[in-house]
């Protein structure tokens, strides 16, 4: 293994052992068809104004829809949405048939019963290695009182039973 390959392998291992929440990011393509993918590279950026970011692989078949669409919705997933997580992570052609969804007043595909939803307008696209970082200003948001879906070591699950109550 070359040093570069070895470093990439170690990097992936470390990131896989870092627990995160799970999101599905959606938009409409140029033909007004819904597009979406599972993402765990999501973060809050700012409270004033409300801003978030997420990263998309340059090899993604959905790349052009997100770069050209100008807006997107980030859905934080609830524990009962594991099936949706995997459907939007794979090569599934008709991902939206696996979820109940509707078009929002902002023209975005919204997955019903998500833990939370951030509808965003893209304010910056940052070229970052083999990914683009999409920075968005939140234009609408919704929350449901549900348990989150967590990602760790290539698996998803709810909060462990022994997690301290808040």
Q: What is the DSSP string of 30-84?
A: TTS-EEEEEE--EEEEEETTEEEEEEEETT-TTHHHHHHHSEEEEEEPBGGGHHH
Spans in the chain with pLDDT lower than 50 = none
- Which pLDDT score is estimated for 166? 53
List, for residues 23-41, the tens digit of each pLDDT value: 999 999 999 999 999 999 9
In the chain the domains, ranked by start, together with CATH numbers, are 19-154 (2.30.110.10)
| Distance of alpha carbon 83 from alpha carbon 22, whole angstroms | 12
- Which pLDDT score is estimated for 96? 97
Instruction: Enter the tokens of residue 24.
Output: 């599905």
List, for residues 55-81, the tens digit of each pLDDT value: 999 999 999 999 999 999 999 999 999
DSSP assignment letter at 91: -
């Amino acid at each position: 293994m070359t040093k570069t390959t070895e470093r990439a392998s170690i990097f992936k291992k470390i990131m896989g052992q870092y627990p995160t929440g799970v999101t599905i990011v959606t938009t409409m393509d140029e033909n007004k068809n819904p597009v979406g993918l599972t993402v765990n590279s999501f973060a809050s950026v700012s409270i004033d104004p409300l801003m978030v970011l997420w990263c998309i692989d340059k090899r993604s078949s959905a790349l052009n829809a997100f770069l050209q669409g100008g807006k997107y919705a980030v859905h934080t997933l609830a524990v009962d949405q594991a099936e949706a997580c995997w459907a939007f992570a794979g090569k599934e052609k008709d991902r939206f048939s696996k979820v109940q969804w509707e078009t929002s007043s902002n023209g975005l595909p919204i997955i019903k019963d998500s833990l939370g939803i951030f509808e965003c307008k893209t304010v910056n696209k940052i070229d970052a290695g083999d990914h683009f970082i999409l920075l968005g200003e939140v234009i609408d948001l919704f929350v449901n009182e549900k348990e989150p879906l967590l990602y760790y070591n290539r698996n998803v699950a709810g909060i462990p039973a022994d997690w301290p109550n808040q």
